[in-house]
Homo-oligomer: A and B are copies of this chain.
Amino acid sequence: LRTGFPEVIWGSGKTTEQIAAIIQAMRQKASVVMATRIEQDVAEQLQAEIDGLVYYPLARICALSTSETIVTHPGIISILTAGTADLPVAEEAAITAQLCGFKVKRLWDIGVAGIHRLLSHRQVIYEANVLIVVAGMEGALPSVVAGMADCPVIGVPTSIGYGTSFGGVAPLLTMLNSCATGIGVVNIDNGFGAAMLAGQILRTASKLSKN
């Protein structure tokens, strides 16, 4: 049904053998096969077994594809993080988006406590077609960004923080209660889901612009 999107395996709670078997089975029918939530050691075992399997350690993604650098869809997905600790989630989004054939721009560590830094990067925000904004702790970045942007914003709360961040509940609530409009929220740490939604948005735009 959803031609063009990769086949995806959620690596959590599966044995290395199971993951290897599913990847081998899927590579028959899809041009891109990827698995998320893969730790370094599991990745190495998978690579020993599966020819051409690439591992993105920061994103914790394994993938089989012609190449992740071939941009096949129009539009730019810009990915922003509030802090450097949000990077793994942001990279999960970035690699997923690239494997789906989208152009990705990255902008790390521009949290709202230093608003000038964010403002100095406003051009990235203006040029994006979809924005993925990744933030833990208080999670206020998507609100500020959505107020500046003229494109959809996908808020990704992360479990980065301690005490009353409650494993990402604090930034999740911040994003859901944003007084800025144009924000859709995904699950805590769900960089993958954010990229899939961003891709869906841009594909819909392409379809529509062809009519």
A positions within 8 Å CB-CB of B: 1-2, 5, 8, 10, 12-14, 18, 74-75, 82-85, 111-115, 119, 129-130, 137-140, 143-144, 146-148, 150-152, 154, 157, 159-190, 192-193, 196-197, 200-211
Contacts and interface: CB of A to CB of B under 8 A. Distances in A.
A179 B209 contact: no
Q: Which of A166, A181, A192, A207 has the most CB of B within 10 A?
A: A181
Contacts of A18: 84
Nearest to A155: B184
B111 A179 contact: yes
Contact of A178 (B12, B113, B177, B185): B113
B115 A204 contact: no
A90 to B, nearest CB: 13
Contacts of A168: 163-164
Contact of A113 (B138, B146, B154, B171): B146
A189 B205 contact: no
Total copies of the chain:
8
Contact of A176 (B112, B186, B192): B186
B173 A112 contact: no
Contacts of A178: 113, 137-138
B208 A147 contact: no
A173 B176 contact: no
A62 to B, nearest CB: 17
A42 B46 CA distance: 29
A194 to B, nearest CB: 9
Contacts of A206: 205, 208-209
Given A144-B144, A184-B154, A170 B174 contact: yes
A166 B174 CA distance: 11
Contacts of A85: 10, 12-14
B129 A208 contact: yes
Nearest to A178: B138
